[in-house]
Amino acid sequence: MSESFSSPKIGTEAGAKTGAPSTPLFPAPACGQQDSILGKAFDVIRHGIVQAVFPAATVAVTHRGKLVALKAFGRFTYEADSASVTVATVFDLASVSKAVATTSMAMVLYERGLIDLEAPVVSMVPEFAGSDVRRGDVTMHMLLAHSSGLPAYEKLFLKAKSREELLAAAFATPLTADPGTRAEYSDIGFIILAIALERVADESLDRFCQREIFGPLGMLHTAFNPPAAWRASIPPTADDHTFRNRVIQGEVQDENASVLGGVAGHAGLFGTAEDLATFAHVLLQGGPPLVRPETLALFTRRETTPAGTSRALGWDTPSTPSQSGKYFSARSFGHLGYTGTSLWIDPERQF
């Protein structure tokens, strides 16, 4: 299931890359009864727009291999003359980037034997070492599981004026807990994770994801730094009066990601709800052609430590209470984004 703040299809088959039995790459269109089946849910979205909780939304839902809902609501802004959102509207996915882009890159590199999840981060990013000996204990696994001891967020953009300066500040960010002892969702950790993955792949995050993930899966309207031609299809995310001093539209809202050039491990990806539905469909089918089922199972299995964590590797799992709601199974996994985006996948119920 994918819902986000939404693509032409190509005829690729999942079995082409893996040698596995041929499986449709795209969910079969089946939206004819969406209003009768999901009418109450759609009314909740409409009510949110009327109450100015958000100006717009697009929703895509897959079920048992079928795209059972694809619908758009609202306008780009609260202004009456603002452009209407359509199912082709492209949204800033914010932290959903962590799962769809960065974690997917990690899965692919892991499956190819190019990364060891228990390898220390300093073996790939020696700049991370510093004077705190605990930093040598931080592993790739911990970055993915948000248990590295790094803080959740720092306004690095306030003191870093270039990509190089911001990365240096991220590498030097002090630990706030011993590695592996506390789960704390960390943008800083994913900034560093992406750099480690890029160095292993000898390729930037955006280029790797385009060639290995978005292109092969036919996600034609998913990209970092979307081209100028897409701008009219992208709603604004902020009227920034403090940092960039302009309306943010067609560029990443996250300030740290902006200084990093729009390509970062924690944010920066743009896409449509339908593209996310395609991505979700592939994972619901077990992972091919992206990864094998065994790799997907490893990354989406809930961690057993630290105590109380709801995290998997790059993904989240249901907790109490959970913004995923109360209807997803314990085996489900997903991710949220600061701009209001959400992607949730339930292999047990095939949503």
The string over 182-201, giving b where at least 16 C-beta atoms fall within 10 Å of a residue's C-beta and e elsewhere, is bbbbbbbbbbbbbbbbbebb
Answer yes or no: are the C-beta atoms of 185 and 146 closer than 8 Å: yes
Q: Three-class SS of residue 244?
A: coil
Rounded Cα distance, 147 and 138, in Å: 9
Q: Could you tell me the sign of the dihedral formed by the alpha carbons of 129, 131, 135, 137, in that order?
A: positive
Rounded Cα distance, 179 and 252, in Å: 30
Q: Looking at residue 7, what is its pLDDT?
A: 30
CA angle 72/63/312 to nearest 5° reads 95
Q: Looking at residue 322, what is its pLDDT?
A: 75
Residues of the chain below pLDDT 50: 1-21
Q: Which of 228, 224, 233, 208 is CA-nearest to residue 268?
A: 224
Whole-prediction pTM? 0.93
Residue 93, both tokens:
């996915």
Answer yes or no: are the C-beta atoms of 196 and 139 closer than 8 Å: no
Angle, helices 293-300 vs 104-111, to 10°: value is 130
Rounded Cα distance, 314 and 325, in Å: 20
DSSP class per residue in 184-199: ---HHHHHHHHHHHHH
Q: Looking at residue 325, what is its pLDDT?
A: 82
Cα R_g (the chain), whole angstroms: 20
- How do strand 66-74 and strand 28-29 relate by DSSP bridges? parallel
Q: Three-class SS of residue 100?
A: helix
Angle, helices 163-171 vs 187-201, to 10°: value is 110
How do residues 192-205 score in pLDDT, each as one tens digit? 999 999 999 999 99
Burial class (CB in 10 A: 0-12, 13-18, 19+), 80: exposed
29: left (phi over 0), alpha (psi -120 to 50) or beta: beta
Residue 98, both tokens:
């962590």
Q: Which of 184, 234, 8, 224 is CA-nearest to residue 96?
A: 224
Strands (E), 225-325: 238-240, 246-248, 269-271
Angle, helices 187-201 vs 104-111, to 10°: value is 40
Q: Looking at residue 22, what is its pLDDT?
A: 60
Rounded Cα distance, 164 and 345, in Å: 36
**Size of the chain in residues:** 351
Answer yes or no: are the C-beta atoms of 269 and 96 closer than 8 Å: yes
Q: How far is CA 145 from the centre of its chain?
A: 14
Q: Three-class SS of residue 306?
A: coil
Give CA torsion, residues 161, 127, 138, 141, to 10 deg.
70
How do residues 50-97 score in pLDDT, each as one tens digit? 999 999 999 999 999 999 999 999 999 999 999 999 999 999 999 999
